[in-house]
Structure 1
Amino acid sequence: MAITTLFRDRRDAGLALARIVAAAFDEVRASGDDIPAVVYGLPRGGIPVAAIVARQLDCPLGVVAAKKVVLPTNPELALGAVTSADDVLWTLPQRELQTHSAALLQAARNARNCAIARQTQLDAHFPPVDPFGRLAIIVDDGAATGTTAAAAARSLHARRPLQLWIAVPVAPLGFVSHPPQWSERVLAVSTPVPFGSVSASYRDFPQVSIDEAVACLQQYWQHYQQSRAELN
């Protein structure tokens, strides 16, 4: 019988995920590796979850924007994902990519432009966050296939973090067991079998607006910078 973790909302999920990430981070520190961490939220829904994880680790919070690639004829079917840095991952086999190349390329361009606009809009509300030489942790509110998180991992990997993790409250077991090649590990609170959908693990799962995402980033950085000032 499958057991599904039911989160009340993204805050509840973030608190549960933060405990798991903090425990894994403590293990790294205990091994003698004093690596600094940085957390990246996937907008928009991943930002409230990422803020809780970042606060638990007391580290900078950034954003890496990635969008699903879909065709207008079937907007519910994700064919891949693309980041604002134009890192594209496809879920289709090569033969189908060649068959529908023109339409897919246009769909990828559309998704990339949306990702660029979102990244630009959110970047204005926090200082630059560099993953170089750090443990970069990508956080979302869940992973249905992991393609979007994997595209984000590919993008951040090019910026040379020391390690790269993906952390989500809920994901398919296969995604956790077999992390994308650009990440060392995937952490999840719940891996339901069979996996239905991300929203099925939440009691309250509304869309996060861009204004809410901006407010979350602003509040986090106000708290983080204030805590740094108090230490000095």
Structure 2
Amino acid sequence: MTEVCIGTVLDPVIFGKLMAGGWLDNEKAKVAGMQILRKNKFTCSSCGFVSRSSVQVPHGYMIPVDYAHPGLLAAHGDGGCLCSICAASIGINWSVTIEGQGDSSAGVPGMLIAQSRLTQVQINRLALQVISLLASQPTPQLSKLQSAARDIDAAMTALNHELGGSIPFYRGNDSDFARALSLIPQEYYEQREDILGSLRFWPNVRYWKEQGVYWMKSTFEDMLASDNELLGVVK
């Protein structure tokens, strides 16, 4: 399992279409992409999250990727499988910008935060659960977990305001910073990693609501039902 780190893509336009499910509209990309997802058993190769296919959502909101393509578009049967949040975190010059988002009523996919204690993958695992909990209808069983999820989201979102103190080059605009980061030449990649330091991606919960509803049903609902120890703690 290869853990993703926050990063940028060479072609954010194609990457945005990939993230929006545009690959399903191209027969060649659809066949190749579904082949990759099935081969990987709808399991994220970075964080280990497992979704599942359904008649309505055959891809389970998982993303087939080809790291050799500038926009990560997988046009052949070779490639990896990422959950949407791991994929978004490696393309921040799409995921924190408003351009190419279509209906922007839910805002951008996410934001940049300063968080040195958690890796990007640890944050992504947490984010998947927060998104799924907050997208679900309140129930007595979930109420305390949803309250904790709201607190986590608020705490992570607040870390966006600390970026200026952690990264001297940050000037208060996620979109501008991500685009500038993507322009640093590949030969200076190591220096770019030094600049990133505690930079992380945190998703905008509202943007991923549709996926969260699905992930709760496909993955987390069964986990919660079978985890009696967890349920006992939160009662």
**TM-score (norm. length: structure 2):** 0.25
Bigger strand share: 1
**TM-score (norm. length: structure 1):** 0.25
Bigger helix share: 2
